[in-house]
Amino acid sequence: MSVSSCCALANSSSRLAALVVLAASWMYLSPTAAADERANPDRIAALVKQLGSEDFAEREAASDELTGAGLPAFAALEAAALHPDREVRYRSVRILGQIRELDLQRRLEAFLSGKEDSGDYPLPAWSRFKNAYGDDATSRQLFVDMTRADPEVMRSLESSPKAAGDQLADRAFQYQQAMQLGQQQQLSLAQVGVILFVAAEEDVALAAQTMSMIYSYCYQPTLRDAVTSSSRNGIPRKMVGAIVRRSDDMAAYQGMLIALNLGLDDGMVPSLKILKTPGNRAPHFSQYALMTVAKLGNQSHVPLVEKLLEDKSVVTRMQENKVIYDVQVRDAALATAVILTKQQLKDYFGERPNHQLTDPQQIFFNPRVIGFTDDQKRAETHKKWAEYKAKQPAPAGGEPAKPGEPTKQSEPAKQGEATPPPPQGEKPAPNAPR
């Protein structure tokens, strides 16, 4: 037998002997006495010192007993994590992690059953989650699943929004790498839930690249199923809607795509933001915003859409049989206005063979549907809108609206009907629109 084998056997025998002695000593103590002994500060201090023993079995025995002691040993182990002895530092950090995990699982089980100890410190990020998504059996189960899936990110959100943003960026990149390398096919609902929950928090700043990765996870089958079926009390749906609403710039573009794909009214928020901000309005952003309004908006959005009827920026161009079709922003705006006023597109753009003019996504990206081959045909089509507007009743109050100003409903609500709601994605404001 080699020297190393002899040493290993000797260490194993020594550790076994130590554990037998330890177990025997505990047999003579009642459970209460055992707990009191493990919580004894002098005993804990001795065990911490024993972590640096020359004997491997003694070090292991001390580690096991400190882990069993749990939270009463936490402070001493935190101090020992800075000990000059490398072995003591290493074992202290490892035991602290084990104590945290064991304590977290204990508290999560109590939390699920509604029997959490009033003396326990709150679960990381629960107050934020509760404020956003409520407190019932379903929300608690999802929160527990998320905490178990990624406790590190949940703790970071509790400690610092900046730390949470940095941690989330790292996690999003790790998941992306794992999927690209085939190490993980898809994320669980709990994993995606952690990402969306943190990303939706207004005080968590995220770079555009991170937001792009986060939006890619919105196409995960587990999340799509949860959103479309409104399972888990609709919480996953609310999470996606929350990040869509806070989207700006390129993220707004992706947010509108997600909203259209999943049928989320929240897509109106970034689309209206784009349409109301001409200086930052790229032509293709305008196109997506108009398409979103056409699908999710209502007639109250027509005045805003009309402001784009003079925008000649080209958004799409194609050539077919030597014929060039152009779609300009104003053409997309006209199509949007026609849809919102529940008119027929064919009455404006004519019959386009082999095209079903029902889904905005089929309309706005096909130049053969709303595009023109020359400006004369375009002018004739846009003239029809002016003629339609001229035939409409004046807004309430008897005075016609100035060009570009919002108009009131042309017909008053019938007796017993509720007042029409404000535009989707906007809050009612007493002052003039900004």
Tens of pLDDT, residue by residue over 374-415, are 999 999 999 999 999 999 987 665 444 443 344 443 344 444
Q: How many domains does the chain have?
A: 2
pLDDT at residue 328 tops 60: yes
Same domain, 241 and 147: yes
- When pLDDT is cut at 50, 70 and 90, the band that residue 8 belongs to is very low
Same domain, 156 and 88: no
What is the model's pLDDT at position 180?
A: 87
**Are 88 and 51 a contacting pair, CB within 8 Å?**
yes
- 206 part of a folded domain: yes
Q: Pick from 228, 246, 264: which residue ends a domain?
A: 246
Same domain, 154 and 107: no
Concatenate the DSSP letters of all residues of 291-338 into one string.
HHHHHH--GGGHHHHHTTTT---EEEEEEETTEEEEEEHHHHHHHHHH
Same domain, 126 and 238: yes
Same domain, 126 and 237: yes
Q: Find the mean pLDDT for residues 281-300.
A: 92
Neighbouring C-alpha atoms within 13 Å toward the C-beta of 208: 7
Question: Tokens 């790790």 label which residue?
Answer: 174
Same domain, 80 and 188: no
Q: Pick from 54, 85, 112: which residue ends a domain?
A: 112
- 305 part of a folded domain: no
pLDDT at residue 292 tops 70: yes
- 308 part of a folded domain: no
What is the model's pLDDT at position 359?
A: 73
- When pLDDT is cut at 50, 70 and 90, the band that residue 28 belongs to is very low
Same domain, 106 and 128: no
Displacement of CA 270 from its chain's centroid (Å) = 15
Same domain, 239 and 134: yes
Same domain, 156 and 85: no
What is the model's pLDDT at position 357?
A: 58
Percent of the chain with pLDDT over 90: 58
Residue 47: domain span: 11-112
Q: Find the mean pLDDT for residues 176-205.
A: 92
Is-above-0.85 flag for pTM? no
Same domain, 147 and 208: yes
Handedness of CA 394, 395, 398, 401 (dihedral sign): negative
What is the model's pLDDT at position 277?
A: 85
pLDDT at residue 262 tops 50: yes
- 319 part of a folded domain: no
What is the model's pLDDT at position 2?
A: 39
Same domain, 135 and 239: yes
Which phi and psi angles does 82 have, rounded to 5°?
-110, 15
Q: Pick from 85, 112, 139: which residue ends a domain?
A: 112
Q: Find the mean pLDDT for residues 314-334.
A: 92
- 365 part of a folded domain: no
pLDDT at residue 429 tops 50: no
Same domain, 105 and 180: no
What is the model's pLDDT at position 192?
A: 95
Concatenate the DSSP letters of all residues of 99-114 into one string.
HHHHHHHHHHHHHHTT
- 32 part of a folded domain: yes
- 255 part of a folded domain: no
Q: Find the mean pLDDT for residues 314-320.
A: 90
- 272 part of a folded domain: no
